[in-house]
Structure 1
Amino acid sequence: MFAARATSLVKLVGLCLMAGVLVAALLFPVIGGMGLASNRAADTVDKTSGELTNAELPLVTTVLDMNGQPIAYLYDQYRIPVASKDISDTMKAAIIAIEDKRFFLHKGVDWQGIARAAAKAGVDGGASQGASTLTQQYVKNYLAFVVGKGEDEAYEKATEATLGRKISEARIATQLEQKMTKDEILTAYLNLVPFGNGTYGVGAAARAYFDTTPDKLTVPQAAMLAGLVNEPSRLNPGADPEPAIKRRNTVIDKMRENGAFGSDDKVAKEKADEYKATDIGVVADLRLLPNGCVGAGDGPIYGFFCRYLIDYLERSGLPFEELRRGGYTVHTTMDPVATRATKEAAESQVPKTAPGIANAMAVVQPGQDKHRVRALAANRDFGNNADAGQSAFSIPAEVTKFGAGSIYKVFTAASALERNVTGIDRPIEVPNTYTSKVYKNGSQPYTVKNAGTYKDRMSLTEALATSPNTGFIILEEKTGLDNVVDMAYRLGLRDSMQGVNEAGDPLKQDGSNGPSQGDSYKRNNSGSFTLGAGPTSVLELANVSATLVSGGKWCPPTPVEKIVDRDGQDVALKEAPCDQAVAPEIANAMVTAMSQDVKGVGTAAGAARDWDRPMLGKTGTTENHWSVAFMGATMQFAGAVMTFTDGVRPQVICNGTPPRLCGNNDAGGVFGGQVAAPTWFRAMRVIHGTSPVQPLPAVEARYR
């Protein structure tokens, strides 16, 4: 008994001392001997109170498709800000009753409340009742959840039981009361504080727990929400309603004591009892907003685009952390029809659960000012469960560790045209076997042979359609390897050439894992470049074909139409400008030169049955059959597909229905015309729909 009384006495003295020190600190901010430190503290107080007057709270960023429909939400704190007029008086009365019943009587610090807490401590050792006003709680929560971003260390600092923190909090609170009305403080508080289950502010809480808006909250609903503020991490009405009901009923009793139900005690008690007898009323499934690329919108389908969007915005000057707090509206280029068509086409060729085989496609709309990314999809779903056929990497957009095969012959052909080595109708040499006079295979001569029987000479157009290896090695010699590598970069393989090393790993800023893939080919004088064995991005392949049908104009494959901030103002991004990668005449010549791959003996002719639109196309198959690809475009849409082994141990992909891994025996290895090209045509038939057929551009005589 004596020990308990002694403890209570210590608390009583402590509270009295705290009250005295608080008064002194409020009246005399510069204390003798500590003037400089106090001035600095005063500056901090002034700055914080200024921020709190018009606090910019973390808000949800909404990502929209090209039609303005939401496809994803990105946030750190789920919050729906509301104005005072949109918050019911019932909600305001509930929070005041339980947290600060003298809210309208004090000036930021409740001296009577502190005295009452001191008296309480003297009686039974309690030390918290009435010690913190709503205004002070607003300050504390702002420092914890806005300045401190809700991190554990910041929360502990904002709530630490020290006299210094209390003094600072009290001084800020008194300043706020001079700058803001009571209703403004109350509204700001209700928009700021956490209500559990990741919700912040009464707008999100009303939606999550009751699927309603703050202006429609009933007394039991408002009381439950007000009760959550005290212990949002412990009270979870969605999972365990009993503690939440008990707390709600306590709030209702406090509301009655505070006169919320009228001055007639009997009537007020009857109303309170009626409110307390109601069920918890929380919706069966909390209306929580999906967060991030996995769970938002049609996550399994739209997730790859969402992931690319975030990466693109970070590179363009809008960090992910800012996206999660800034309340932006991102209008994207994503076409949901094209995305679904691409997804269905990819899965039609390779099921999502096919072990070790990914089938990814990207669609880009060409243009002179922008190359808009319309679809990024794969047979895989976007997610973290690999056993269910999911991938958390944006496999249609990132540089894969696998090659696009003979598609790289396009860069050799374009470089040869630019340097006037040949024209699209002029014959080139196509021996069955060729030993290079320029390139080496280590210390041995570099010898290549064709995978099939070809004429000794054929036009560049026919060579692009039928894809003999030897003819392009000879062209690469005549054109110069460095020029061919540079052409790949110029036409669109920018990350593939300069962003990764030869293993496909992203280059570190210090260059310690370099050189880049492009530089590595140049340094090693690797003639195999034109055979396309190196790491390649599916999206960049699609953008290569977009560059060609855009008259040689390269633009970054952008997922963004525009971004507006929380105030509706446009946000500028640091996007790479478009540039003229090659002369329009060369691009037009290449488009025509690549138009025969889908006809006659072209490698994609089988997949192009019933296709009746003029287009460019090129298949690719790597020598080890670990990956195959198809790149194609009309004047309206460009796209690329890569099918590659994505398991722990790469293996040969063998043809079948569906394709399968078959160890390291390439006898039955699949080709680009068998899986990748059919995926492209199935998707593009839907994407083009009934749009008008557009002819390919004319070719100048000098490039014939």
Structure 2
Amino acid sequence: MASFRSRLGELKQLVARRAPALAARLGSSVDALRHPTRRVVVRALLALPALLLLYVLILIPFTPGISDIRKVSSEQPAQILSADGRKLAEFKQSNREWVPLAGISPHVIDALIATEDHRFREHFGLDWRRTIAAALNTFSGDRQGGSTLTQQLARNLYPEAIGRDPTLTRKIKEAITALKIEAVHSKDEILETYLNTVPFLYNAYGIEMAARTYFDTSADRLDVLQAATLVGMLKGNSYYNPVLNPERSLQRRNIVLQQMVRRGKLDAERFDALREKPLRIDFERQSEVPGPAPHFAKQLRKWLIAWADRNDYSIYGDGLIVRTTIDSRLQAAANQAVFRQGNALQRIADAAWGRRSAWSPDVDLVQSFIRESPEYRAAIGKGRTAQQAMQDLQADKAFMTALKRQKTQIQIGFLAIDPRNGHVKAWVGSRDFEQDAFDHVQQARRQPGSTFKPFVYGEAFRQGAKPSDRLIDQEVAIAVGGSEIWRPTDGGPPSGESMTLADALAQSKNTITAQLMQQVGAAKVARLARDMGVRESRLEAVPSLALGTSPVTLKEMVSAYGTIANAGVYREPLLVSRIEDRDGRVIEEFGPADAETVLKPAVAYTLLDSMRGVIDRGTGRAIRNRYGIRADVAGKTGTTQDNADGWFILMHRQLVAGAWVGFNDGRVTLRSDHWGQGAHSALPVVGDFFRNALRARIVDPRLRFTAPEETGWWARIKRWWRELFAPEPVAAPERRRRPVEAAPGPQAPDAPPEPATRGMPEPPGSDPLQEKIDQILRESEEGEGPREDSPAPAEAAGAR
């Protein structure tokens, strides 16, 4: 402590001795600033540009590189191809069609240069005279822009790298980039790039899309008035929008014409005649062609962007060729099946919701829809009371019609996967991508209903149960916590008879499935479902899970069924097989993910064999008697409470396909116990698709699922015993070749028809869903296969 005090005293003495010297030095510095010498002034003046130059040098690495500029000007978007080489999509950065400078009207070029940058051909990216004049005018209160066309191009191409704020840093970055562009490109190349990248509102980029959007013509046919109108928009797209602000746009067009006269690009006499002419806009939004698999392409774009970022590629400029797993023939069959069934069910929905008892302003559900609408919230925000807003919207016929159309629009999701390798073969996310881009394959989570039951039976078989085991069809009451009881039903009283597990699965018995769930355990069923493919959705391990009360995606369910069809081996769905560069050289190949055996082959085959019963004698038998499919297939139907969701998934050795049918709002249904079932709503989509796939021999109708060979010492003994007592082979009699007839004669009227060979598709039959709506609604429910009852509501909230 004493040493510290002594050091502190020494420090104070040192400061006291040097304080006068420091004060004197500070005083001399202040005097120098008050009365600077010539040398100080010169140094200060030289320091300012030096500092500015240093700042510019520091900013150069933070501006786009020359290679990046070359990529943008030679844009080559990624080409998305199917497995059989058909084009599915093209990943453009914007809705733009690139046209060469020779394909653009000379009026456009004259108007652009005369108005935006009349010394364009003379400068090297920066117009110093214009920049200084703009700065002086800005300082005097009249703010003006001094950017050249090259600077504007730099800002349009690289808004993120250059920035948008009106700061010195942004202007310097813009200038540096403009100089780089001028160093790389000729003046004509700069003009071509500018006119093909400039935005014109309404998702129209470039002069070609602008010409189509505003005048229903092409860029090479724009006349001088049309060219002046479009060039005039560049000063402010929204402010001079010819659709919403025609008067401003007309005034701006005439200013552009005046500039053309001033720069010698238009005769004064002609200007006097043109200035009085109207705009004559022929407006139509330009939409990108969605392609045959738009929802698939949308999901693929997200994946490809992440891949390109990791591997330093651009999906817009590097000309990548992406070969997907989609089969264009199967995709076309899926699109057709969704279209046909969607239209048929929409007629039924329109008839059901067209009744006043279903849709009228005083119906509680309709009023709920009104209160949830943006129009209702906007009315409340403007000060209307809840009652006034409700009354106004109820009286608005256009609003009510649009609301009804939105809420009662049938939607369908469809997915097909090759179970052997996980290749996605067909993907349809909705009935119409342009009307509803929401993907009902990957994004939508809905209750799967009875399509979840195979996980319960699969867990039971894994634990040693057999399809021949029996349970009593009886009332079930399961405590789910506290005093709450869950009582699943099948829509009618239980029979009291015993049923085999195979028959219970085929007939989709809720009471039997609930009892089985109690025996095997909900947690184990949930774990098995996750292992088999339901890996993204949350599954609640409660008794009602047996009847599919936890929402899942169609992609997860089809993937899980693929595990069954692949002998218990899970394969992650695969979208891309390989990526090539623009010259066809392979950049990366993608094979199936590592196989995961989640069920023993014998257990998987037992489950699949039981699900054959669904098709042969159960709720899915329309696959046989209506669509004539004789191939070896298995599957499951599914219907949720109040018929809100209809499901059907079908398995073949080469292909697993599933469909979901419903409305975006789960409160809306087909209002029919018949058409709301998965056997009548979703099954026809898959049946139609599979029938076409089999007929085209894309899927081999002769392939069959085979039971795995037994292993172990007991299996070897049984094989030895069969071989020991096997009968001697008998030579087949020689077959005589039948002579070829000139032409087949007519079959005798009483001749029996040839029996249908198993494994071969039957001739096409009639499709009652394509008949008139009145015939559809009168069609008898008899002979359509057994009803699949939806799960009864859980009496315990926690069991839902």
TM-score, length of structure 1 as denominator length: 0.67
Q: State whether structure 2 residue 711 is matched by structure 1 residue 681.
A: no
Per-residue CA deviation, residues 395-437 of structure 1 (Å, 9 max, x unaligned), is: 34445342422x3331233334445x1455xx2021234879x
TM alignment of 1:191-210, pairs within 5 A: 191-210=196-215
Change (3 A) 1:538 1:80: same
- Structure 2 equivalent of residue 667 of structure 1: none
Q: Which moved more, 1:608-617 or 1:194-203?
A: 194-203
Contact 2:427-2:441 at 8 Å conserved across structures: no
Taking the aligned partners of 1:222 and 1:637, their CA distance within structure 2 comes to 55
Shift of the 208–113 alpha-carbon distance from structure 1 to 2, 3 Å rule, reads same
Residues 95, 203 of structure 2: 8 Å contact kept: yes
Deviations 1:443-467 (A, max 9, x none): 6798878764375353x54343234
The answer to whether structure 1 residue 487 and structure 2 residue 532 are counterparts is no
CA deviation string 1:491-510 (max 9, x = no partner): 22222xxx33xxxxxxxxxx
Q: Say whether 1:400 aligns with 2:445.
A: yes
Q: Is residue 570 of structure 2 the alignment partner of residue 531 of structure 1?
A: no
Alpha carbons of 1:446 and 1:167: their partners in 2 closer, same or farther (altered >3 Å)?
A: closer
Secondary structure of 1:631's aligned partner: strand
Aligned to 1:92: 109
Aligned-partner SS, 2:615: coil
Q: How does 1:382-393 map to 2 (within 5 A)?
A: 393=438
Q: Is the 8 A contact 1:597 1:618 kept in 2?
A: yes
- Residues 694, 34 of structure 1: CA spacing in aligned structure 2 closer, same or farther, 3 A cutoff? farther
Partners of 1:224 and 1:244 within 8 A in 2: yes
1:126-167, Cα deviation, whole Å (9 max, x unpaired): 6748x4432333344445x4547xxxxx54x1xx3x666556
Alignment correspondent of 2:595? 579
Residues of 1 paired with 2:416 and 2:81: CA distance?
Answer: 18
**CA distance in 1 between partners of 2:169 and 2:635 (Å):** 71
Matches within 5 A, 1:551-700: 551-558=567-574, 577=593, 579-581=595-597, 582-600=599-617, 602-605=618-621, 608-610=624-626, 611-614=628-631, 615-621=633-639, 627=645, 629-642=647-660, 647=665, 654-656=672-674, 659=676, 672-678=678-684, 680-686=686-692, 688-691=694-697, 693-700=701-708
Structure 1's unaligned 5+ residue stretches are 1-27, 149-153, 262-267, 291-295, 384-389, 501-516, 660-670
Between the aligned partners of 1:628 and 1:272, the Cα distance in structure 2 is: 66
Residues 165-194 of structure 1: CA distance to partner in whole angstroms, max 9, x if unpaired? 556655554565455443343334333433
Q: 1:400, 1:70 → 2: CA distance?
A: 30
Distance change (3 Å), C-alpha of 1:532 and 1:575: farther
Equivalent-residue separation in structure 2 for 1:576 and 1:455 (angstroms): 46
The equivalent residue for 2:47 is 32
Tell whether 2:551 aligns with 1:543: no
Write the distance in 2 (CA, Å) between the matches of 1:588 and 1:314: 40
How far apart, in 1, do the equivalents of 2:418 and 2:44 lie? 64
- On the 8 A contact 1:82/1:203 being kept in 2, the answer is yes
Corresponding letter in the other structure for 1:191:
N
User: Is 1:453 matched up with 2:495?
Assistant: yes
1-structure distance, mates of 2:349, 2:518: 42
Partner Cα separation in structure 2 for residue 449 and residue 79 of structure 1 = 57
Q: CA deviation at 1:364?
A: 0.7
Cα distance, 1:544 vs structure 2: 2.9
Paired with 1:204 and 1:132, the residues of 2 have a C-alpha distance of 25
Quote how far apart the aligned CAs of 1:100 are.
Answer: 1.7
Equivalent-residue separation in structure 2 for 1:120 and 1:529 (angstroms): 73
Q: Is the 8 A contact 1:346 1:359 kept in 2?
A: yes
Code of the residue aligned with 1:195 in structure 2: it is: F
Task: Give the equivalent residue in structure 2 for 1:258.
Answer: 263
CA distance in 2, matches of 1:442, 1:255: 82
1:264-290: per-residue Cα shift (whole Å, max 9, x none)? xxxx556767877887575x2435234
Distance verdict in 2 for CA 1:648–1:37, change over 3 Å: farther
Alignment deviations for residues 52-82 of structure 1 (CA, whole Å, 9 cap, x no partner): 7436489988877788888778777433344
Separation in structure 2 between the aligned mates of residue 363 and residue 119 of structure 1, nearest angstrom: 64
**Matching of residue 80 in structure 1 with residue 97 in structure 2:** yes
Alpha-carbon shift at residue 200 of structure 1 (Å): 3.1
Are the equivalent residues in 2 in contact too, given 1:364–1:546 (CA < 8 A)?
Answer: no
> Which whole-Å deviations, capped at 9, do the CAs of 1:613-664 have from their partners, x for residues lacking one?
23102234557766553322234543334456865758996514x55xxxxx
Higher mean C-alpha displacement, 588-597 vs 304-313:
304-313
Q: 8 Å contact 2:644–2:667 — kept in the other structure?
A: no
C-alpha distance in 1 between matches for 2:174 and 2:411 = 58
| Equivalent residue runs for 1:273-422 within 5 Å | 284-286=282-284, 288-290=286-288, 297=290, 333=326, 335-349=331-345, 351=348, 353=350, 360-376=412-428, 393-405=438-450, 407-419=451-463, 421-422=464-465
2:625 is paired with a residue whose SS is coil
Other-structure match for 1:441: 480
- Indicate if the aligned counterparts of 1:107 and 1:174 stay in contact, CA closer than 8 A: yes
Asked if the contact 2:533/2:560 (under 8 Å) is kept, the reply is: yes
Q: What is the TM-score with the length of structure 2 in the denominator? A: 0.60
Q: For residues 294 and 620 of structure 2, what CA distance do their matches in structure 1 show?
A: 30
Larger deviation, residues 538-547 vs 443-452: 443-452
Relative to 1, partners in 2 of residues 1:311 and 1:171: Cα closer, same or farther, differing over 3 Å? closer
SS in 1 for 2:65: helix
CA distance in 2, matches of 1:621, 1:349: 16
Q: 1:171 to 1:318 in 2, by over 3 A?
A: closer
Deviation at 1:232, TM superposition (A): 2.4
- Distance in 2 (CA, whole Å) between partners of 1:646 and 1:226 is 43
Say whether the 8 Å CA contact 2:154–2:177 is kept in structure 1.
yes
Q: 1:280 to 1:576 in 2, by over 3 A?
A: farther
Residue from 230, 238, 244 that aligns with 1:233: 238
Q: Distance in 2 between matches of 1:65 and 1:30?
A: 66
The 2-side partners of 1:652 and 1:231 are apart by 49
Distance 1:42 1:413, change over 3 A: same
Q: Corresponding residue for 1:48?
A: 63
Aligned sequence identity (%): 25
Contact between 1:117 and 1:128, CA under 8 Å: does it hold in 2?
yes
The partner residue of 1:106 within 123, 148, 160 is 123
Query: How many residue pairs get matched?
Result: 597
Q: 1:675 to 1:252 in 2, by over 3 A?
A: closer
SS of structure 2 residue aligned to 1:342: helix
Supply the AA of the counterpart residue of 2:506: A
Q: Who is 1:663 aligned against?
A: none
1:431 is matched with: 472
For residues 295-342 of structure 1, give each alpha carbon's deviation from its aligned partner in whole angstroms, at most 9, with x where no partner exists.
x648xx9776566556776898889xx989999887763713312312
For 1:457 and 1:433, locate their aligned partners in 2 and report how far apart those are by CA, in whole Å: 10
Which SS does the other structure have where 2:47 is aligned?
coil
Structure 2: stretches of 5+ with no match in the other structure: 1-42, 354-406, 716-800
Q: Would you tell me which structure has more strand in proportion to its own residues?
A: 1
C-alpha separation between the residues in 2 aligned to 1:442 and 1:87?
74
Residue equivalent to 2:191:
186
CA shift in 2, pair 1:639/1:180, >3 Å: closer
The alpha-carbon distance between structure 1 residues 583 and 337, as it changes in their structure 2 partners (threshold 3 A), is same
Checking the alignment, whether the CA contact within 8 Å between 2:447 and 2:548 is kept in structure 1 is no
Q: Which digits, 9 at most, give the CA deviation of each residue in 1:89-139, with x for residues without a partner?
A: 5543332222222222234333444577799999x996748x443233334
CA distance in 1, matches of 2:452, 2:136: 84
Q: CA RMSD in A?
A: 5.1
Question: By how many angstroms is 1:699 displaced?
Answer: 1.6
Three-state SS of the structure 1 residue aligned to 2:612 is coil
Contact 1:53 1:180 in 2 (8 A): no
**How far apart are residue 253 of structure 1 and its match?**
4.6
Q: Using the alignment, how far apart are the partners of 1:278 and 1:69 within structure 2?
A: 48
